[in-house]
């Protein structure tokens, strides 16, 4: 479903914890953003059964325009997904979602945070580097839709507190 690019005036995005009622909107973003989207059941499992999972949605004009997820385990965090509706990309929604994950990580005394990103996704890599992530390795053939490699990135959370 298309979203008007004019529907997000600067500063008019609300970030909040994802709830079960948000799954339909998140699935719309997921299907628009990814070649191999997660299923409804995957999100239900994350929200209901996974004690480590925390998800945030970005909302504008009562529509979900993006979401992000992270697993918090002891003193480390693993970003599972960050997705923004294609019509809203380039409006700093993804950056806002990433900041929300950092705020959550800091509040839980997380020391390190990791993620995987497509080696071809230079826009996302540049955003992650802006917030202190560094590439440390490659997972060969990580993405099942086309066998693309994933760049593994890590960052120290205490080093990022001045950027959020």
| CA distances, 52 to each of 97, 100, 110, 125 (Å) | 18, 16, 12, 25
Q: For the segment 35-86, what is each residue's pLDDT rounded down to a tens digit? A: 889 999 999 999 999 999 999 999 999 999 999 999 999 999 999 999 999 9
Catalytic residues: 116, 128
- Token digits of residue 65: 């325009």
Q: Are 23 and 62 in contact (CB under 8 A)?
A: no
Cα–Cα distance, 69 to 88 (Å, whole number) = 18
* Domains located in the chain, CATH noted: 12-163 (3.40.630.30)
Q: For the segment 142-156, what is each residue's pLDDT rounded down to a tens digit? A: 998 899 999 999 999
Q: For residue 11, what pLDDT is reported?
A: 59
φ, ψ of residue 88 to 5 degrees: the values are -110, 0
């Amino acid at each position: 479903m298309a979203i008007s690019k004019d529907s997000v005036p600067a500063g008019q995005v609300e970030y909040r914890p994802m709830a079960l009622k948000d799954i339909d909107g998140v699935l719309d973003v997921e299907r628009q953003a990814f070649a191999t989207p997660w299923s409804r059941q995957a999100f239900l499992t994350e929200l209901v059964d996974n004690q480590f999972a925390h998800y945030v949605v970005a909302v504008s004009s009562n529509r979900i325009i993006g979401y992000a997820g992270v697993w918090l385990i002891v003193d480390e965090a693993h970003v599972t997904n960050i997705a923004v509706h294609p019509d809203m990309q380039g409006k700093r929604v993804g950056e806002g979602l990433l900041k929300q994950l950092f705020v959550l990580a800091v509040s839980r005394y997380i020391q390190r945070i990791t993620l995987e990103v497509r080696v071809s996704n230079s826009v996302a890599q540049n955003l992650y580097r802006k917030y202190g992530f560094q590439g440390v390795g490659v997972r060969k053939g990580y993405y099942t839709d086309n066998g693309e490699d994933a760049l593994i990135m890590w960052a120290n959370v205490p080093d990022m507190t001045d950027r959020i």
